[in-house]
Amino acid sequence: MKRNAPDIEKSYKIAKEIYAHYEVDTDDAIRKLSEIPVAIHCWQGDDVAGFETSGDLSAAGIRTTGNYPGKARNADELRADLAKALSLIPGRHRLNLHAIYAETGSKKVDRNELAPEHFVNWLDWARQLKLRGIDFNGTFFSHPNAEKGFTLSSRDDGIRKFWVQHAIACRRIGEYMAKQMASACVVNIWIPDGFKDIPVDRKAPRLRLRKSLDEIFADTISSEYVLDSMESKLFGIGTESYVVGSHEFYLAYAVKNNKLLCLDSGHFHPTEVVSDKISAVLAFLDAILLHVSRPVRWDSDHVVILSDELSAVAQEIVRGSFVDRVHIGLDFFDASINRVAAWVIGTRCTIKALLTAFLEPTALLSRFESDEDYTSRLAVLEELKTLPFGSVWDYYCLQQQVPTGADWLDIIRLYENKVLSHRH
């Protein structure tokens, strides 16, 4: 049932008074929340297909399941779907773009030849929507030069150099985007390299990967424009026994070379959590990138929900005063439900998690902890779980002129009937 503005404002006033008892200023929490951009990933809208005609996603360990109608078939449809999702999400955010979403017209342009000109439509669109910036990802899968399962660590030097050239091209594209958007571009590298069965030589591929990274970053670009990031993985389809770009490898490389480390929620052992890694790696790194996803039985990239782990990630960012050192990007895809709705659900849940973190009385809880009053710490942490967070969230949505509650779903259904259902 729809709620009107006076009711939302009345509920917020009550919530504001309740939170004040716990030394929390809800107005300040909302202000801080509005300043955090989330990089919303383009690949949810077309099942990670991109606009190339060659390659097979499944060959790289990436698979989207489901056949819900309405998949975006071209860049214009994808941008329209993203714009619809953004209109239902509070705040100003960023676009997270992959290299396979280049628009080259009728001309065949291989990935090592990609240039800023192939992304000008994305830039124009982002400026029109007043996005805060664009982040960029090299695409090291779904390509003939990735069919043998190795890219930057390939023993074939021709293939290895092809992917080095692709990474250099991506950094140059990121630099151009940063200058156009007046905001640094996070350029992320993830490769699928590894072995299905137990290898004899674990060292050589990693030495080749290190050599490739050194060659990529030898092309000097100011960190004012490009923030280089590297994304590890525990294992994947076809790399169950060995992954070249492991967490330990990239962590060591990032610390030594002052690069960003990407922590993907689904890229670790099921008993590991990203929330516990944030303060550990930021003790040595200037900044990190998060790929927020939801692993179910490991790296399945389900739509993000307001889970305990997502809340814990947000709490670590806020409690550690890491807001300016953590870049938040989304990484999920589900073709079994309305794809635009998936964007809205996942992004709104990520923002909700950040709001709950800002509504936490961190200073009060820290005093309890420093006084070794763990009883009060536990008691207050549990009481916070039943405070009227929803009233603050609805008020924030009202301020941002987006639907409150689940009212956005009616707009999605109308868009589905008028637009998505007519795609074949």
Q: Which of 52, 331, 360, 394 is catalytic?
A: 331
Mean pLDDT of 74-87: 98
Dihedral of CA 289/113/50/422: which sign?
positive
Confidence of residue 2 (pLDDT cuts 50, 70, 90): confident
- Catalytic site residue 301? yes
Q: Give yes or no for residue 231 having a pLDDT over 70.
A: yes
- Catalytic site residue 264? yes
Chain centroid offset of residue 61 CA: 19
- Catalytic site residue 156? no
- Catalytic site residue 269? no
Confidence of residue 106 (pLDDT cuts 50, 70, 90): confident
- Catalytic site residue 71? no
- Catalytic site residue 166? no
Q: Which of 175, 231, 316, 360 is catalytic?
A: 231
Percent of the chain past pLDDT 90, that is, above it, reads 92
Mean pLDDT of 341-346: 98
Distance CA 419, CA 408 (A): 16
Q: Give yes or no for residue 57 having a pLDDT over 70.
A: no
- Catalytic site residue 23? no
- Catalytic site residue 118? no
- What pLDDT, on the 0 to 100 scale, is given for residue 58? 43
Q: Give yes or no for residue 298 having a pLDDT over 90.
A: no
Confidence of residue 395 (pLDDT cuts 50, 70, 90): very high
Q: How far is CA 263 from CA 22, 109, 141, 297, 390, in A?
A: 32, 31, 19, 18, 29
Q: Give yes or no for residue 59 having a pLDDT over 80.
A: no
- What pLDDT, on the 0 to 100 scale, is given for residue 53? 66
Mean pLDDT of 211-228: 97
Domains of the chain listed by start with CATH number: 36-359 (3.20.20.150)
What would you measure as the largest C-alpha separation in the chain, in angstroms?
68
- What pLDDT, on the 0 to 100 scale, is given for residue 154? 98
Write out pLDDT tens, residues 154-199: 999 999 999 999 999 999 999 999 999 999 999 999 999 999 999 9
